[in-house]
Amino acid sequence: MKNKRKLLTIVLNIILIIFILNFNSFAFEIEEATDYIWLQEEITNASNSTSKEPNINSKYAIVLDRDSKTILYEKNSNKKVPMASTTKIMTAIVLLENIEKNNSLTLETQVEVCKEAGAIGGSRLGLKKGDKVSVNDLLYGLLLCSGNDAAIQIAVSVGGSVEGFANLMNKKAEEMGLKNSHFVTPHGLDMEEHYTTAYELAIITDYALNIEKFAEVVKTRNYTVCIDGNYKTITNTNELLGYLKGVNGVKTGFTNGAGRCLVTSVDRDGFNIITVVLGADTKKIRTKDSISLIEYTYNNFEQMNIADLIKEKYEEWCKINENRIFVYKGKKNNINVKLEDIKYNYYPTKKESLKDISISIDNINTFFEAPVTKNILVAKLTVKIREKEILTLNIVTNEDVGRKDIKDYFLECLKCQRSYNF
């Protein structure tokens, strides 16, 4: 009898260990309520801070300016690390872009929940095998309450399987030029070879926010879904949404391997940034770090209208040089030029550095022998803050100029002769 009890105890302990190991790999987003009194205190402290550098405890972090794609702050931002449920940002991208390409699947399409989605653990929308749910509600369940079951069902509905969908995710990452991101799952539970970097996650997020539906979903605090005819209200797990000025998304995450993660997008008076913190030890740390990065950015940086400064300098250069760009043996002696397009109008600059901005134009080639074609380099425009180069634009030829032929020389002679006779 004692041996049987001992054996039963061993079996139960093994089962408990297996359960704990699997439990710890799940991505729970709602296990810890937000302390909003503490949150408001942190927001007030960060807003009033005069610190020139943020104090960040998370292992990996970045602040990215969305317009210029400039990094305003970074900490280990190129290290490959697990990213938990922030994975679902890419999941949503692949879903929304494949809906556009595939007329048989729309946001209104009702899908039947598969066994794999119904059985997945961790944070859930609450799906079970056989339930009917719209793709639109799966999307909200994916991004608001971070449903792993919604992620699996999206993967199966779009990619045929989790593996097939992961291939689509990696294909998209390749299209975006990401070198340090690889996806194995649509939900982000800890798995080998499933990783990204803080920098590339910011790039993924920036891309996603340009999709209107994605931006609409991630700024939603509460939403009512319909699962198999039953209505259920879900709440966004992003604790900063609605509490910190300008926050309009994006996604939380947690696994034991990834730690606490938070990707945040903020828009204050047209100054748009994305912050990423990964590898925080606690929810409060990820929240505090995110607030610190956001308030540090808006306290210390200002949007400089770089487009107007460049335009002014270019026009000044043109007045001086328009007759100095000579085409030898050309059908015309001078050639029109143009400035390369500026990809953004504003550049975030530390407030104390605004006076240190300089723009210079160096002539590269102002003498040409015909024939001359478009887009030949004439000069380079360089923008610097102190000694740091922040932008270079080319000034190039903007027309073709052919070489003179016998007829042109003959007409020139006639013109000279008439002028002489006069």
234: domain CATH number is 3.40.710.10
pLDDT tens across the length of the chain (422 residues): 556 565 556 555 555 444 444 444 444 454 567 888 999 999 999 999 888 899 999 999 999 999 999 999 999 999 999 999 999 999 999 999 999 787 789 999 999 999 999 999 999 999 999 999 999 999 999 999 999 999 999 999 999 999 999 999 999 999 999 999 999 999 999 999 999 999 999 999 999 999 999 999 999 999 999 999 999 999 999 999 999 999 999 999 999 999 999 999 999 999 999 999 999 999 999 999 999 999 999 999 999 999 999 999 999 999 999 888 999 988 888 999 999 999 999 999 999 999 999 999 999 999 999 999 999 999 999 999 998 999 999 999 999 999 987 776 666 676 666 555 54
Q: Is 104 a catalytic residue?
A: no
Phi-psi region for residue 404, left (φ > 0), alpha (ψ -120 to 50) or beta?
beta
Number of domains in the chain: 2
Residues 421, 419: Cα–Cα separation, whole Å: 6
Residues 372, 180: Cα–Cα separation, whole Å: 43
* Res 421: pLDDT: 53
**Candidates 85, 157, 181, 290; catalytic one:** 85
Residues 235, 14: Cα–Cα separation, whole Å: 36
Domain of residue 76 covers: 51-281
**Does residue 84 sit in the same domain as residue 173?**
yes
* Res 24: pLDDT: 40
Which residues, other chains included, contact 22 with Cβ-Cβ below 8 Å and sequence gap of 6+?
Answer: 121
* Res 389: pLDDT: 95
29: in domain: no
Closest-CA residue to 154 (of 208, 115, 193, 117): 117
pTM recorded for the entire structure: 0.88
Residues 310, 339: Cα–Cα separation, whole Å: 10
Q: Is 85 a catalytic residue?
A: yes
293: in domain: no
Residue 402 DSSP label: P
Which residues, other chains included, contact 388 with Cβ-Cβ below 8 Å and sequence gap of 6+?
Answer: none
**Does residue 312 sit in the same domain as residue 199?**
no
Largest CA distance in the chain: 132
**Candidates 58, 68, 77, 88; catalytic one:** 88
Q: Which helix (H) or strand (E) holds 391?
A: strand 388-397
**Does residue 239 sit in the same domain as residue 135?**
yes
Q: Are 225 and 125 in contact (CB under 8 A)?
A: yes
Q: Are 71 and 63 in contact (CB under 8 A)?
A: yes
388: in domain: yes
* Res 18: pLDDT: 44
**Does residue 133 sit in the same domain as residue 85?**
yes
Q: Is 351 a catalytic residue?
A: no
**Does residue 118 sit in the same domain as residue 83?**
yes
Q: How far is CA 115 from CA 4, 56, 169, 309, in A?
A: 36, 42, 22, 60
**Candidates 68, 146, 265, 290; catalytic one:** 146
